[in-house]
Structure 1
Amino acid sequence: MVSAALLTASCSLVGSGDGGDDDTKVVLVTHESFVMSKKLQKQFEDESGYDLVIKASGDAGALTNKLVLTKDDPTGDAVFGIDNTFGSRAIDEGVLAPYAAKLPDGASTYALAGDDEHALTPVDTGNVCVNVDDTWFADKGIPEPRSLEDLVKPDYKDLFVTPGATTSSPGLAFLLATIAEFGEDGWQDYWGRLMANGTELTQGWSDAYEVDFTQGGGNGDRPIVLSYDSSPAFTLDGQGGTTTSALLDTCFRQVEYAGVLAGAHNPDGARALVDFMLSEPFQEALPDAMYVFPVDSSVALPEDWARFARQPEHPFTVDPAQIAEHRDEWLRDWSDVTSR
């Protein structure tokens, strides 16, 4: 998601190396927010017998585009980080090889619709949601917004900041939430009203949250921001509470997948890596490592997540095939509306 995640990932945390022969190493192609501890990497290598090499760059969209461009000569064996907004494209372009991994409890819920050959295996999930600074609204005596429609009301003029849909994975997810809510005939009008109400657009999540959001640590002046359902677990007030809330009626579900690349030099190693990402140790590490929820429903969440990272019961979704068909058109239209 993109991952989708509440960190500026450091590739220094990700294992890498020169690797060995093609039959002794497995190369993972992923996005720049991927984090796997050295302990977990060593566990995979010890259990599988393969040396793991990680190639990380870009977000989920850039990752998928690169895989499509290199599909005739893939740069790795396995991929992690294609999400449900780009999954259909990867499948349609023949980037992936079928692999029906054994899924843990609850993971089948997140299978990509239309993926009949099981090319993508769900690994983690989370929701892109509008977040609010509870302390700011309490101090001002203004009721917090609750819905997408609330964001265009005069009470919230000049208060919302969001990453753009063309430059950010969560920004695209937010655009899809508005399409799901207002439909093909209404989403452009909604965005026109949103921009007229002083919405600020940024290049990415970090700019919006860490710089412009009032709880982001950058002395920002916007108390409403696009972020994640897990974000409140990381704005603790030191007194047993949190200073922010996710608006659960504004959320779009994101799922990140792993898969075996078609034409991989080491498909056996790729399948072993996909299996490892479904294992309990890897699933347990996801919240702290990448700020996402495991797909294994039997895995216990960290205490702060259990208290403050609430997930929506009915997040917005858009059919992956519809996203694949209309993504470019929607992004062109979005650019037109937001540049007026």
Structure 2
Amino acid sequence: MTPPVRLPETGAVLAVRRAVRDWVDAHGGPMPVVVGLSGGADSLALVAAAVVEVGEVWVVVVDHQLQDGSAEVAERAAAQARALGCASALVMSVEVGREGGPEAAARAARYAALESVRGDRPVLLGHTLDDQAETVLLGLARGSGGRSIQGMAAWNAPWGRPLLGVRRAETRQMCADLGIEPWDDPHNVDPAYTRVRLRTEVLPLLEDVLGGGVAKALARTAEQLRDDGAVLDRLTADLLRAATLPQSDAGPAPEPGRATGDAELPVGPRAGQPTEGDGGRHNSDRPALSIEILATADPALRRRAIRAWLTAQGVGRLLNAHLQAIDELVSEWRGRGGVAVAGGSRDHRLVVAREHGTLTVRAQPRNDAT
């Protein structure tokens, strides 16, 4: 292990060190950590500060193998980390899939690699205030509620982000002050990526039109929304516990082609269809929710509870339109059938339906959708 580099006391170095120290103090004091290093200025500055402020730092450089020369870039970054005094610097090569697009697929592969080697150590990532502002804008554009504009959390176990209050310009200046040349990923200036256009076009325009301070304001908004969201999450959990029915209370499934006990139509896209390919039996391992309790709850909490419940049932990629339609099964039901959602299998799809005064998730054979 190389002794830590003595860091100059410049403004940029002190800002980054202070951010890392504050994060460590807020999470129990010095501890062994893993730092995810790309070779860029943000993560290099984080490594340098962490070695001094944390002490025992393992560095992992993930080579996504998406560009020519990526192996050399990764080895160079690992060598820079060793020179800064980290305990270990490991290069991991990964295969990047295609699901969700290139950015999402690369991120999934990177996080999986870090998770596989971290042991019980937290992983520190070099996201800055500028990254936070871009994330908030992307969430705002999706229009999927307050959660989507809460941005990134400073701690979401096992992922830590000590630099969310640090500007990107400060990490670059810190590298310059240390005489370290960071790697500039060409993807970070490629306008084919939405985030790059936000960074190079949208945010500078907003700063100009609104007189500056936009990135800080967006990051501050995200922090306030996370605080609000924590309270809402607790209230949502209380509602979900109250509304979740024991398995035995869910009642029998309706007979094919007949209305349920509270005059609801049969579940499914067509009248006369059972809810499952097994003759309409209940999925005994899927809890149901009480319509009565949900209907009397505040709409905002009800929708959050439904979303959390569906996530626990394996429903993925829930669009706002799906959530609105499911909420209407509770609050404005007019005899409609179920709502198909993502998360089934090759042979079955998942359908959320109202029956016997409960909200249920059912598996239906996919050939029933035709």
* TM-score under structure 1 length normalisation: 0.27
The answer to which structure has the higher strand fraction is 1
The answer to which structure has the higher helix fraction is 2
Larger-Rg structure: 2
